[in-house]
């Protein structure tokens, strides 16, 4: 039987040969070669299956990773104080993410009802003044995920952080220091 060029380059014996003319050792070699080819193919298929499984698991893992970076003008944080009367009407939020939009300071009232330190706080006017629904609690400990923006010049002049009624304060009360923003939308809260 004449071999083609493809068959000449292969290391496997010609399996189409007449096995009656072969000796016992030749037949044994032929069976061993077939078993080697089968085990080689099985090994390659196993490697391919395992590689596919690892690839799928790694893609699932990448899709499930927590992305700590928020879109622009989005923030997450917890209400740490709500001031009133002579201290101004401010909701003080300790921002967890993104870092650096607030300021670090401490604040305490004269009577000692509030005594806190913070690392990244922003001040927001009362929710009722900026159109946030009453269903969102404006209480200490509430966690918020929200969109925000800077105050416009008109809003700075409107005194959004001052009480609606005129109050006479007997001393010089200083409101908490914080970067001031407006919440435009509450995405979620707890």
- For residues 157, 162, 167, 173, the Cα torsion angle rounded to the nearest 10 degrees is -110
Give the pair of three-digit tokens for residue 163: 């009480």
Q: Taking residues 142-157, what's their average pLDDT?
A: 89
Among candidate residues 66, 127, 126, 128, the one with its CA nearest the CA of residue 97: 66
pLDDT (tens digit, 9 = 90+) per residue, 36-85?
777 888 888 888 888 888 888 877 766 555 556 888 899 999 998 888 88
Residue 4 phi/psi, 5-degree rounding, is -85, 175
Percent above pLDDT 90 for the chain = 12
CA distance 138 to 127: 7
Mean residue pLDDT of the chain comes to 79
The residue ranges of every structural domain in the chain are 5-64, 74-189
pTM above 0.75, yes or no: no
Asked if pLDDT for residue 11 goes beyond 90, the answer is: no
pLDDT band at 122 (very low <50, low <70, confident <90, very high): very high
Asked if residue 8 has pLDDT above 60, the reply is: no
Q: Which residues contact 23 (CB under 8 A, 6 or more apart)?
A: none
């Amino acid at each position: 039987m004449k071999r083609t060029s493809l068959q000449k380059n292969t290391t496997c014996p010609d399996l189409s040969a007449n096995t009656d003319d072969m000796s016992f050792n030749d037949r044994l070699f032929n069976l061993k070669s077939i078993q080697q080819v089968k085990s080689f193919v099985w090994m390659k298929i196993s490697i391919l299956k395992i590689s596919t499984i690892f690839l799928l698991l790694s893609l699932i893992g990448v899709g499930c990773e927590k992305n700590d970076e928020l879109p622009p003008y989005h923030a997450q944080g917890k209400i740490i104080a709500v001031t009133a009367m002579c201290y101004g009407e401010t909701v003080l939020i300790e921002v967890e993410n993104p870092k650096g939009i607030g300021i670090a300071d401490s604040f305490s009232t004269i009577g000692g009802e509030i005594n806190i330190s913070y690392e990244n706080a922003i001040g927001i006017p009362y929710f009722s003044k900026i159109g946030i629904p009453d269903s969102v609690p404006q209480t200490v400990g509430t966690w918020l995920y929200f969109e925000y923006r800077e105050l416009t010049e008109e809003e700075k002049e409107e005194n959004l952080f001052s009480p609606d009624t005129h109050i006479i304060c007997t001393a010089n009360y200083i409101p908490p220091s914080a970067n001031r923003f407006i919440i435009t939308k509450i995405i979620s809260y707890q």
